[in-house]
Structure 1
Amino acid sequence: MSTDPSTSETIDSDTTGGETIEFQAEARQLLRLMIHSIYSNKDVFLRELISNASDALDKLRLAAYQDKDLGADTEDLHVELVPDAGARTLTVRDNGIGMTRDEVVDLIGTIARSGTAELLAKLREAGDDARQELIGQFGVGFYSSFMVADRVELVTRKAGAGEGVRWASDGEGTYTIEPVADAPQGTAVTLHLKASDAEDQLHDYADPSVLRRIVKTYSDFITWPVRMPPGTGTAGDADDAAPETLNSMKALWARPQKDVTEEEYAEFYRHVSHDWQEPLETIRLAAEGTFEYQALLFLPKVAPMDLHMRDARRGVQLYVRRVFIMDDCEALVPEYLRFVKGVVDAADLSLNVSREILQQDRQISAIRRRLVKKVLSVLGSLRDNEPEKYATFWEQCGRALKEGLLSDADNRDTILGVSAFATTHDADAPTSLAAYKQRMREGQDAIYYMTGDSRTAIEASPHMEAFRDKGYEVLLLTDPVDEVWVDAVDGFDGTPLRSIAKGQVDLQTDEEKEEAAAKQTEFADLCTWMAEVLTEDVKEVRLSTRLTTSPAVLVGDEFDMTPTLEKMYRAMGQEPPKVKRILELNPSHPLVTGLRDARAAGKDESGTVELLHGMALLAEGGELADPSRFVGLLAERLQHAL
């Protein structure tokens, strides 16, 4: 017995070269959910197996183009369904690319990859309806076979390899894997079907008529023939000389839009995205002339589970004249649109094009620009005409889209225009910047915003006091990316964006400004003295026009790094340079007027000054440099107050 260090799996070897491998504990839990409680519609297992087979055929054809010495048979590429009612089995077979032993362990073991723990936590919290969606996002469609089978066997041989491999499992904790000398090219998955319910003939998966119905419903668009051999047809056709083809094999993106149903679009989306839901929005476009191509793209209802993971898959499928070239073609969509799934079929690219060549290809660059503009245009249309659908998109994928404000300067204004932001105007619905501008008060010359860890923290900040009292709307920006893009964007539609936590704030009336000028003289000595006491921590002490109830607040200069951004750098293991900030005082607060009077009487209240600074730091979620000193000073002041 040994342990595979790459998977933490226990392996038993026998004298025949076979191995019994134990699933990880988390994988066993997930598989148990798959088998017993996930899917309301078990028919989809066949869609997943046919989709996997189609991908294998696509990859073989591409590999044969790229390697003329591959030694693979590409004469009659197809998927075959072989039901056996007597044996209660169904075999889904393809003569595609096949897999090596290591690929079987890796690809069939997807269920045990990183992210399983996060998924299981979500599954435990989710209701039955939500579980199916989460499983689909995780991409473990092969394991849906165990919904209908007591045991699953897989025999495969990599194209060009001399030996195959057999994988088998009953889904109860282990699987076996062994070499097979005479395996045919491709992959065959045999399901040992569970006992059928005599009253439920619609789900007897050894019945050819049931298979026909499922293929027509879910896999009609597959570009490879899906066949059943002679003798498995309807009554009376047992002597058919040729296999029966079950699907039409018509590429959806090549068919007239009026001839494609919403159901067909939904199934194709599930095929390319491995999602289990229907798409939020379908996008079609085509171009003729210098660069000819067709594209069929989709926006998801639910963000892919790996949307914000470092190694997330992104890109759309690339075809050239109906020939599959690659999955996840990153050159066709920027990273901030990584939630977009679909197909692009180009007319004039080489079939041997590589990922490296694509990055420099002029046609690909032109297609990419057009796809980006089309997706952003559709998002703008959703915002204006279908607000509920747009709200769903923004909740799921808006954080990723905002990354484009940093990375795509050419489309920055458009991205900003289709973005939405939490606001003090409405606690439930985010706002567009265009809507914000329509609500701006007379004389207001900027779009006000504040960044922070959460809506609650921002709304409780002293920085909000004057804006709340005077009725100015403020954008509440809480996503990590917000801390960065706001410094890259000058404004929207001619109106600058301005942080309420930086620089001077001018919300005063003329009368209030006159009063403030008098206060400046009255508190000048106090501000100078406090700046000396806090010289290691602040660059200036001044009176505030943004406070109404709090005694003090810390403010940054216009180009200073925010406290939240400092935390982000520290979380990444980088210590940012120390930034001295400005301490603003509320001249109407009793604590501040008391300090003024104590200073005028010659009393040393430097400890109170330190407390005031610490309070302002804590109010914005900052960290005290010396918490024990702060507590000691506070205890001392409380003792004197008793």
Structure 2
Amino acid sequence: MTETLEFQSEARQLLQLMIHSIYSNKDVFLRELISNASDALDKLRLETYRDKDLQADTADLHVEIETDQENRTLTVRDNGIGMTRDEVVSLIGTIAKSGTAELLRKLRETQDAAVSADLIGQFGVGFYSSFMVADRVVLTTRRAGAEEGVRWESDGEGTYTIEPAADLPQGTAVTLHLKPEDAEDNLHDYSSPAKVREIVKRYSDFITWPIRMAGEESTETVNSMKALWARPAAEVTEDELTEFYRHVSHDWSPPLETVRLQAEGTFEYQALLFIPSRAPFDLFVREAKRGVQLYVRRVFIMDDCEALVPEYLRFVKGVVDAQDLSLNVSREILQQDRQIELIRRRLVKKVLSTVKSLEQEKYRTFWTEFGKVVKEGLVSDVSNRDAILDICSFDSTHDTEKPTTLREYVERMKDGQEHIYYLTGESRSSIENSPHMEAFQAKGYEVLVLTDPIDEMWVESVTGFEGKQFQSVAKGQVDLDEKADDAERKEEFAPLLTWMASALAETVKEVRLSSRLTTSPACIVGDEHDMTPTLEKMYRAMGQELPKVKRILELNPDHQLVGALRAAHAERGDDDARLRESAQLVYDMALLAEGGELADPSRFVKVLATRLEQAL
């Protein structure tokens, strides 16, 4: 019985983009189909290792390509794992890939065809790329061990048909009915055997399964089948590495950098890893798959081996081929395996050292794309914290255009400066205009400008760099102005400070003179180990109840408003209601200046309006 079903809305939109795509390099559709076929062969061999009772033919696993110039068709066939009806609907009729909505939003926003093609390639849509060159696609498949197969067909316009199919061989065959316009274009005649051979050699030569085509006299294997990670580096070209990266990542862009690693001796393994040139759409999606492909003695074990790559390096793609692991290893066993832990440690150190050695332009690209993710490691990976700090860059007040490394910051530190100063906040402008920055800017001290949410977390965990401690300019005592320590001045303002501390006791734990202010009357600071207001807000947003943290109000003794408050207090005493109201206004203004939220905004507006009226 034939069923007609609709594509999921996201899949339908992507299909339309593919059908009408003017992507210049349409050849990549064949790479995607061969990659899928190779995956199916990997999965069958792995399944037969794990399930000895599986009725499957593994005697001659291969990919076969068939062209028909007369009928203008191209078929890619494998005798791999195959699919059931439900798997066909799930894998082709819907897109369960993280980041789909974000991709579609960006595609709708851009009017540039080249940008659209670039976005599509970044997403890695695999099977759907067939519709760039075909106006009808037929897929037949039978799952290994199943008796009945499935036939799927679609023109990509919104619906597809699916029906049972008898007498199908094990595996999957995808037949493309090619668009007529390509017949007149020798460069894109995908029914031409010569054209197909050229594409296979260029994009899929490294596939470890034989890719066969009918020759003039006999069937021939058209790829070399050499595992790239097992070949000496000198024998592998940049083009081969790029195509292999695209195979494992499904990203159409070339990688930013290649990382090779080979361990010999009692425990042998090889690794071929890649740092992408741009972040994937699902980089910050919790459910997104991560990890690298794991092989054991050239046998594929799993696609996304999370145990080999920490979460803060989740963008790394590639292959690890171990010699001494069991072929029946599972994800659960891997989490406890000592050898896997050793490989992981080596991979992390190698990736971090590779990033450190990147030339400047590549490093800037890397940090722009992946800096926020890498900084997660400052919290989660204590053993590699120093190495991570060494590759981090941060915005700073030294240069508004270019971020700085900590090593560069330390080299520029003033004589006698003991701390690496920083301030966290929601934006660069809010930090630069913060009252906390006034004395640092006036005296020429460089301050790191930290605006990523993860910055709120790692600065609480990391103590220092190269012997220099991190110090928030909004926390603790800051000794930049000798006037603040002047005993005579402290005595002069002591009655006001004591009275204001009492008047504002519900919101502050101390009122003191400030050495960090030059133009503002007041600012609010925390004790050295207090949680920042932003971090407190983040925890509350996650549903965590926290005890209220009272902070410190600092007054600028050189500001006219503070001087007037001192004089008024000396004249009127502690019980003046208007003076108490003024003290609250000073606190509220300091709170607003740092981007805080008032406890009672309407009361603040009323008092301020009354004062303005009286002043006028």
| Same fold flag (TM > 0.5) | yes
Between the aligned partners of 1:330 and 1:109, the Cα distance in structure 2 is: 27
Task: Give the corresponding residue for 1:100.
Answer: 84
Q: Shift in Å at residue 195 of structure 1?
A: 0.2
Between the aligned partners of 2:448 and 2:108, the Cα distance in structure 1 is: 34
Equivalent pair of 1:27/1:112 in contact (CA under 8 Å): no
Q: Shift in Å at residue 478 of structure 1?
A: 1.2
Give 3-state SS (helix, strand or coil) of 1:422's partner: strand
Counterpart pick for 2:602 among 623, 628, 631 = 628
Task: Give the corresponding residue for 2:306.
Answer: 330
Task: Give the corresponding residue for 1:9.
Answer: none
Give 3-state SS (helix, strand or coil) of 1:82's partner: strand
Q: For structure 2, list consecutive stretches of 5 or more residues without a partner in the other structure.
A: none
Counterpart pick for 2:542 among 566, 572, 580 = 572
1:524 aligns with 2:509: no
Q: In structure 1, what residue type is equivalent to 2:506?
A: E
1:76 aligns with 2:76: no
- Per-residue CA deviation, residues 304-323 of structure 1 (Å, 9 max, x unaligned), is 21111101211111111111
Q: In structure 2, what residue type is equivalent to 1:617?
A: L
Counterpart pick for 1:542 among 487, 490, 512 = 512
Task: Give the corresponding residue for 2:100.
Answer: 116
Equivalent pair of 1:53/1:94 in contact (CA under 8 Å): yes
Using a 3 Å threshold, how does the CA distance of structure 1 residues 114 and 175 change in structure 2: closer, same or farther?
farther
Between the aligned partners of 2:183 and 2:326, the Cα distance in structure 1 is: 53
Task: Give the corresponding residue for 1:279.
Answer: 255
Give 3-state SS (helix, strand or coil) of 1:523's partner: helix
Between the aligned partners of 1:39 and 1:624, the Cα distance in structure 2 is: 53
Equivalent pair of 2:15/2:156 in contact (CA under 8 Å): yes
- Per-residue CA deviation, residues 467-516 of structure 1 (Å, 9 max, x unaligned), is 111100111111111111111111111111111110011112x5x356x4
Task: Give the corresponding residue for 1:260.
Answer: 236
1:161 aligns with 2:134: no
Q: For structure 1, list consecutive stretches of 5 or more residues without a partner in the other structure.
A: 1-15
> Given the two structures, how large is their TM-score scaled by the length of structure 1?
0.93
Counterpart pick for 1:352 among 328, 331, 350 = 328
Give 3-state SS (helix, strand or coil) of 1:69's partner: coil
- Per-residue CA deviation, residues 104-140 of structure 1 (Å, 9 max, x unaligned), is 1221135365532211122233443333332233231
Give 3-state SS (helix, strand or coil) of 1:601's partner: helix
- Per-residue CA deviation, residues 230-285 of structure 1 (Å, 9 max, x unaligned), is xxx3xxx2xx2x42211110111111111111011000000001111000001111
Task: Give the corresponding residue for 1:598.
Answer: 568
Q: In structure 2, what residue type is equivalent to 1:100?
A: T
Between the aligned partners of 2:60 and 2:505, the Cα distance in structure 1 is: 81
Q: In structure 2, what residue type is equivalent to 1:32?
A: Q
Equivalent pair of 1:38/1:131 in contact (CA under 8 Å): no
1:174 aligns with 2:148: no
- Per-residue CA deviation, residues 327-376 of structure 1 (Å, 9 max, x unaligned), is 11111111111111101111111111111111111211111111111111
Using a 3 Å threshold, how does the CA distance of structure 1 residues 114 and 298 change in structure 2: closer, same or farther?
closer
Q: In structure 1, what residue type is equivalent to 2:319?
A: V
1:404 aligns with 2:377: yes
Counterpart pick for 1:221 among 193, 206, 230 = 206
Between the aligned partners of 1:83 and 1:268, the Cα distance in structure 2 is: 25
Give 3-state SS (helix, strand or coil) of 1:481's partner: helix
> Given the two structures, how large is their TM-score scaled by the length of structure 2?
0.96
Q: Shift in Å at residue 585 of structure 1?
A: 0.9
Q: Shift in Å at residue 586 of structure 1?
A: 1.1
Q: Shift in Å at residue 573 of structure 1?
A: 2.7
Q: In structure 2, what residue type is equivalent to 1:438?
A: E
Q: In structure 2, what residue type is equivalent to 1:281?
A: E
Count the aligned residue pairs: 611
Between the aligned partners of 1:101 and 1:199, the Cα distance in structure 2 is: 37
Using a 3 Å threshold, how does the CA distance of structure 1 residues 247 and 546 change in structure 2: closer, same or farther?
same
Using a 3 Å threshold, how does the CA distance of structure 1 residues 301 and 320 change in structure 2: closer, same or farther?
same
Q: Shift in Å at residue 176 of structure 1?
A: 1.9
1:371 aligns with 2:347: yes
Equivalent pair of 2:182/2:190 in contact (CA under 8 Å): no
Between the aligned partners of 1:616 and 1:23, the Cα distance in structure 2 is: 56
- Per-residue CA deviation, residues 200-258 of structure 1 (Å, 9 max, x unaligned), is 202101110000000000000000011113xxx3xxx2xx2x42211110111111111
Counterpart pick for 1:618 among 579, 585, 592 = 592
Give 3-state SS (helix, strand or coil) of 2:157's partner: coil
- Name segments (4+ residues, structure 1) moved above 4 Å: none
Task: Give the corresponding residue for 1:317.
Answer: 293
Q: In structure 2, what residue type is equivalent to 1:272?
A: V
Q: Shift in Å at residue 198 of structure 1?
A: 5.1
Between the aligned partners of 1:189 and 1:331, the Cα distance in structure 2 is: 34
1:146 aligns with 2:146: no
Between the aligned partners of 1:123 and 1:108, the Cα distance in structure 2 is: 21
Give 3-state SS (helix, strand or coil) of 1:263's partner: helix
Q: In structure 2, what residue type is equivalent to 1:97?
A: I
Percent identity reads 72
Between the aligned partners of 1:612 and 1:73, the Cα distance in structure 2 is: 81
Between the aligned partners of 1:183 and 1:541, the Cα distance in structure 2 is: 83
Task: Give the corresponding residue for 1:65.
Answer: 49
